[in-house]
Amino acid sequence: MDYIELTCKIYSDQLPLAREILMQELANIGYESFMDTETGLLAYIADRNFDSAELDNLSALSDMKLGNIQFKWDLIKDQNWNQEWENNFTPVLIDDKCYVRATFHKPNPNVQYEIVIEPKMSFGTGHHETTYLMLAQMFDLPIMGKRVLDMGCGTGILAILASKFGANTIVAIDIDEWAYRNALENIAINNSLEIKVLLGDKSVLPHMKYDIILANINRNILLNDMVTYYEHADNEGKLLLSGIYESDLPMVTEVAQNAGFVFVRSSEKNNWCSALFQKS
């Protein structure tokens, strides 16, 4: 699959804030992966989903507090991605407990859990705050022996950690074919072969209940699919989600509660938020 690399140059004295707001808006229109730069942001979207006209409608462009934002884009062919990510992928340590590295990095013998991710064009390497928050919060969940669903699995990183925690049944799903293939590859690398990966959206979910549902997607999909999460959660099942800002939490909490969930707790990192809910 070919991708578009969107270069976002931000001329602002509030660069971190502008970068985060822009990233959220781009995620809401389908951009899948991001990398910070000294002058702004790189964002990636499948070529087939790219529409330059959507960029003109981003509210960040009209927010004078964020300064001036300029875009340019380039087509990145499928075969170039591995080298692209190898050049930019660095290992990530999650709370001194989990080490996320690529195949070309040395192992870290000083951590209990290590996840190896082949750095291709899929979301979920631990670098972004939302993935970091999800991984960190998973350490506080009773995953051993449980049934786990990973919605929007990307690289499969959350499902792989659930496997390392001893989950009994794990289903991972993503609508993007590239992510589907990459998740299968990473599952094999980590010997987490009990994970079943599905290509598609919520419509392909098996008719079963889960003890824990993981959903690191974007705000709009979370809101739209909240009832589906509730229907697939077992009694007292837990929903751990991210992909939202702290400012989004009240809205997401209201929709979750309307669906039947009870808010348990949240955590934040650089204005991003992860929240845990339980089926009442």
**Structure confidence by residue, pLDDT tens digits, 96-144:** 999 999 888 899 999 999 999 986 666 677 778 889 999 999 999 999 9
| Domain spanning 137-279: CATH 3.90.1150.10 | no
Quote the pLDDT of residue 23.
85
Query: Residue 173: what pLDDT?
Result: 97
The segments of the chain whose pLDDT lies below 70 read 78-88, 119-123
> Which pLDDT score is estimated for 32?
78
Inter-CA distances, 167 with 150, 214, 239, 249, Å: 12, 13, 15, 28
List, by residue range, all CATH 3.30.70.100 domains of the chain.
3-76
CATH code of the domain made up of 3-76: 3.30.70.100
Single out the residue of 121, 17, 34 nearest to residue 79, CA to CA: 121
pTM > 0.95:
no
The segment(s) of the chain belonging to CATH 3.40.50.150 are: 137-279
pLDDT for res 197:
97
**pLDDT score, position 249:** 96
pLDDT value at position 231? 97
Please compute, for residue 272, the number of CA atoms within 13 A of its CA located in the half-sphere on the CB side.
Answer: 26
